[in-house]
Amino acid sequence: MAKTGAEVLVSTLKDLDVEYVFGYPGGAVLPIYDALYGSSLKHILTRHEQGAAHAADGYARASGKVGVVIATSGPGATNLVTGLANAYMDSVPMVAITGQVQSGLIGKDSFQEADVFGITMPITKHNYLIKDENKIEAILKEAFYIASTGRPGPVLVDITKDALMNYVSKSGSKQRLELQGYRVLKEGHPRQIAIARKLIKEANKPLIYAGGGAQDASKLLLKLAENFNIPVTTTLMGIGAFPGNHELNLGMLGMHGTPWANLAVQNCDLLIAIGARFDDRVTGALNKFAEKAKIVHIDIDAAEIGKNVPAYVPIVGDANTVLTELIDDTRLSHKDWILEIQNFEFPAQTAKEPKRGDCVNCTEPNMHFAELPPPCRQKDSVDPKVVLELASSLFKNQLIVATDVGQNQMWAAQYIKIEKPRSFITSGGLGTMGYGLPAAIGAQLGRPKEQVVLVTGDGSIQMNIQELATIAAYNIPVKVVLLNNRVLGMVRQWQTIFYNGRYSQTCTGSIPDFCALANAYSIPSLRVKGLDDLDEFKVALKAEGPYFIEVAVDPDESVWPMVAPGASLCEMFHASKAPTPSWQRGQNDE
């Protein structure tokens, strides 16, 4: 029986082993939704296309499979833009399918027409505009291939409504040149690998710097570190690629990195970068970054090598393939170096601390909630690290964490110990507030047997709060931990340090009543105001279905340590307030 373009699209998705698609219907994609009707492909209806995009992204990060999102033409497709840019920055495999107006209407400012192909060109790994139903199957397969191979990334396929409605002819031959221009180098250059191995053996103070590209090479990363006794620091994207509680794990490096990691970078003589891209939030002042070190840079994307920092040994290849070649049976000990790191003396550099109750704009008379008690001054609050460490140990570090952006994200990175790869789902490159809630939904669907905990802030969650409806509708057992400091905490922290405490537009106040709101979405809720509530907190985290937990946090709570933007990694504010390092933690946290 002849099939329409839309029917071919759905059957191709099934051929490609897609289990879930996230999306939102509209005129131009009605043919797809008609083909989905009664199909065994599971469609998750989010409440906003941005939510669908982030959910597909979270699904992809947690499962390692390609995330799929569908949106209609015009506003539906433009609502995907942030989600695509986010996935592009963090190299997440995703395929976005958007409807386009009928091919005869293109270019005429037709109803719900937007040049989605043009708009998304710079924020996708590749994109397509299909006007011919006979190309749908081949291009969709190509899109999945491109999204998931090499350095992964989002691919968008824009399809006109007529191509979706027309019947595909069997003979639909493709007049296309195959993917000759798309090469994926897996194998690293043997000579470079040999040089790297030699350097590792000669080094006195080697350090591994692992990024998001090391997530799927975690086993070999562990072997590399253990065989050669090399300490490891991970980026925000690299969290989980190396076990969080491992003695060799120095924690995160960079702006809110640990002093041990940052000082190790500045003192090492060999830096082995694996799937990391020397982002400015990681390196601080580039010209002072790892000044004493030779750099071995392993990356699947040749363009990353030498982009920000010159590599002494460039190795283009897949992390697993390269590490397999690199590691041999030699055992090395770097006892002196490791002891040196553990006993680093921190420079005593303190930053301005907020003066309590200094928030000017909540007392401004024109604030619409002026009659309410000053929102920044909560009577009771809990230290966020206590809550996060408790959550971490409650799940024996075997949880999946999704975060939003801001202080909540940095605290989650610092205080929750992630033991497994693909288990810290966060918007690193773009820093997208509103990413967390929908990403948690996707992650939970991608790894149904494990518990996803979302750590979010009151600013961030309101950017996609409508997705509470998705959680409720599908009974997705995500546990939301909202660290409610009633301010845009991270921005406020910068105002404290760099803008003399002039808190311009960073007070979000006591609106809304989040627990009541969660209840309105028929999600049970709990408010944690003090240490007495922690038992209930644990029960809520272990509950069967979804749970919304609001934790009262003091607005003056800050993220430390901190390296000011553009400063060298040695120049840390409040290094002494860092989270306890792995070698000082009890081995059996609860």
Partner 1 sequence: MSDAIKLEKVILAVLVRNEPGVLSRVTGLFTRRGYNIHSLAVGPTEDIRVSRITIVIEEAEERLEQVEKQLHKLVDVLKIVNLTNAQRVERELALIQVNGEKRSDILQIVDIFRAKIVDVSPREVMVEVTGDTEKIDALIQMLDGYGISEIVRTGKIALARSNQ
Active site residues: 49, 111-112, 161, 490
Binding mask 474-513 for ligand TPP (x = CB under 6 A): ---------x-x-xxxxx----------------------
In this complex, which beta carbon is closest to ligand TPP, that of residue 430 or of residue 471? Answer: 430
Q: Which residue has the tokens 């107006």?
A: 101
Compute the distance between CA of residue 66 and CA of residue 318 in angstroms, rounded to an integer: 18
CB atoms within 10 A of CB 245: 17
User: How, if at all, do strands 270-274 and 249-252 pair?
Assistant: unpaired
Residue 318: alpha-carbon gap to chain centroid: 21
- 491 burial (CB, 10 Å; 0-12 / 13-18 / 19+) is middle
Compute the distance between CA of residue 341 and CA of residue 555 in angstroms, rounded to an integer: 33
- Select from partner 1, ligand TPP, none the partner in contact with residue 406, using the beta carbon and a kind-dependent cut-off of 5 to 8 Å: ligand TPP
Q: Is position 107 an interface residue for partner 1 (rule: CB under 8 A)?
A: no
501: left (phi over 0), alpha (psi -120 to 50) or beta: left
Q: Pick from 407, 451, 496, 568 the residue near ligand TPP by CB under 6 A.
A: 407
In this complex, which beta carbon is closest to ligand TPP, that of residue 220 or of residue 488? Answer: 488
- Segment near partner 1 (CB under 8 A); pick from 9-17, 120-128, 237-245, 474-482: 120-128
Q: For residue 140, what is the DSSP state?
A: H
Give the DSSP letter string of 511-539. -S-HHHHHHHTT--EEEE-SGGGHHHHHH
In this complex, which beta carbon is closest to partner 1, that of residue 88 or of residue 521? Answer: 88
Q: Is position 373 an interface residue for partner 1 (rule: CB under 8 A)?
A: no
Compute the distance between CA of residue 478 and CA of residue 485 in angstroms, rounded to an integer: 21
- Select from ligand TPP, partner 1, none the partner in contact with residue 306, using the beta carbon and a kind-dependent cut-off of 5 to 8 Å: partner 1
User: How, if at all, do strands 294-299 and 270-274 pair?
Assistant: parallel
Task: Tell me the closest approach of the beta carbon of residue 303 to partner 1, in angstroms.
Answer: 4
In this complex, which beta carbon is closest to partner 1, that of residue 177 or of residue 348? Answer: 177
Compute the distance between CA of residue 95 and CA of residue 100 in angstroms, rounded to an integer: 16
- Do 154 and 92 contact (CB within 8 A), yes or no? yes
Q: Is position 433 an interface residue for ligand TPP (rule: CB under 6 A)?
A: yes
Axis crossing angle, helix 49-63 with helix 436-446, rounded to the nearest 10:
40
In this complex, which beta carbon is closest to ligand TPP, that of residue 211 or of residue 428? Answer: 428
Task: Tell me the closest approach of the beta carbon of residue 126 to partner 1, in angstroms.
Answer: 4
- Segment near ligand TPP (CB under 6 A); pick from 10-18, 31-39, 210-218, 399-407: 399-407
Q: Is position 438 an interface residue for ligand TPP (rule: CB under 6 A)?
A: no
Q: Is position 432 an interface residue for ligand TPP (rule: CB under 6 A)?
A: yes
Q: Is position 284 an interface residue for ligand TPP (rule: CB under 6 A)?
A: no
Binding to ligand TPP (CB under 6 A) within 446-465 occurs at 457-460
Residue 274 β-bridge partners: 210, 298
- Do 245 and 397 contact (CB within 8 A), yes or no? yes
User: How, if at all, do strands 562-563 and 572-573 pair?
Assistant: antiparallel
Q: Is position 126 an interface residue for partner 1 (rule: CB under 8 A)?
A: yes
- Select from ligand TPP, partner 1, none the partner in contact with residue 432, using the beta carbon and a kind-dependent cut-off of 5 to 8 Å: ligand TPP
- Segment near ligand TPP (CB under 6 A); pick from 149-157, 218-226, 346-354, 403-411: 403-411
Query: Which H/E stretch holds residue 68?
Result: strand 67-71
In this complex, which beta carbon is closest to partner 1, that of residue 186 or of residue 352? Answer: 186
Q: Pick from 3, 47, 307, 377 the residue near partner 1 by CB under 8 A.
A: 307
- Do 66 and 95 contact (CB within 8 A), yes or no? yes
Q: In the structure encoding, which two tokens stand for residue 328, read together?
A: 């041999």
Give the footprint of partner 1 on this chain (CB under 8 A). 117-118, 121-122, 125-126, 129, 146, 175-177, 179-182, 301-303, 306-307
**Interface residues with ligand TPP (CB under 6 A)?**
404-408, 431-434, 457-460, 483, 485, 487-491
